[in-house]
Amino acid sequence: MEHDFWQERWATNQIAFHEPEPHPFLRAHIARLGLTPGDTVFLPLCGKSLDMDWLIGEGLRVVGIELNQGAVEEVFDRLRLAPERQAFGGLQRLQAGSLTLYIGDFFALTAEELGAVQGVFDRASLVALPDELRRRYAPHLVSLAVKAPMLTMTYDYPQEQTPGPPFAIPFDQVAALYADTHIAERLEIRAITGPLAQRCEGDEIALLLAPR
Ligand SMILES: C[S@@+](CC[C@H](N)C(=O)[O-])C[C@H]1O[C@@H](n2cnc3c(N)ncnc32)[C@H](O)[C@@H]1O
């Protein structure tokens, strides 16, 4: 989707994707990332999710990137952190304590700038993107995460029930996007809940993408 689409969603508070608690898949399956305290987890397209607070509470370092400045600043305010700011190449980098968040376009972030990450938690990022962007997103995420395992999720529902985002991407399609570098494993399937359940009926699937 175009950046304007998302900025408009934030500006008009159409952010039904934002959950009031850390995502249950994160709590249930974080162990599969094999992390130890002090490791860094990357959250692409992180919004202002409470997943970040939860990961920091587990003793992990969090790095994320998000287009919307207000969302990023809200996370630091919520955690009572006063970040140092740096601007470079169209991105802003805010850092304090165990949290580093970039404001700007995911596709402008480089592995060199991001630094080493030991795991990825991708909630509602891949499914936020239409097919053409998804095909660019997966290899770029792999280039950033290098050999890190990834805990991710997808929705599987009849696309004709509602236009995306979030888009319906069956498990096999997610597996195919990462097939060159990662082996996909289905970890959990549950019925779609929350505001999306008012638009469609289907499954929310947790996946592990383990580097080959
Ligand atoms: C569906 S939301 C998911 C947010 C978050 N992961 C969560 O679970 O609440 C997708 C987010 O991606 C952001 N986004 C979309 N395109 C982006 C891009 N190219 N670079 C950075 N962020 C982007 C949007 O602003 C939005 O906050």
Global confidence as pTM: 0.97
- Is ligand 1 within 6 A of the CB of residue 182? no
The set of residues, in sequence order, having a beta carbon less than 8 Å from that of 164 and lying 6+ positions away, is 127, 128, 130
Two structure tokens written together for 37: 């305290």
What local confidence, expressed as pLDDT, does residue 1 receive?
Answer: 61
Residue with tokens 């195919």: 176
Bridging pattern class, strands 182-191 and 203-211: antiparallel
- CA-nearest residue for atom 24, ligand 1, is 6
Give me the sign of the Cα torsion angle 2, 16, 153, 173.
negative
Q: Which of ligand 1's atoms lies nearest the C-alpha of 1?
A: 16
* Whole-number Cα distances in Å, 53 to 11, 34, 183: 23, 19, 28
Question: Domain spanning 3-211 has what CATH number?
Answer: 3.40.50.150
- Residue stretches of the chain with pLDDT short of 70: 1
- Is ligand 1 within 6 A of the CB of residue 66? yes
Distance 172 CA to ligand 1 centre (A): 23
Q: Which of ligand 1's atoms lies nearest the C-alpha of 105?
A: 20
Collapsed DSSP state (helix, strand, coil) of residue 25: helix
Two structure tokens written together for 127: 């499914």
Are 166 and 122 contacting, i.e. CB atoms less than 8 angstroms apart? Answer: no
- Is ligand 1 within 6 A of the CB of residue 142? no
**For the segment 103-116, what is each residue's pLDDT rounded down to a tens digit?**
999 999 999 999 99
**For the segment 104-153, what is each residue's pLDDT rounded down to a tens digit?**
999 999 999 999 999 999 999 999 999 999 999 999 999 999 899 999 99
Distance 126 CA to ligand 1 centre (A): 9
- Is ligand 1 within 6 A of the CB of residue 18? yes
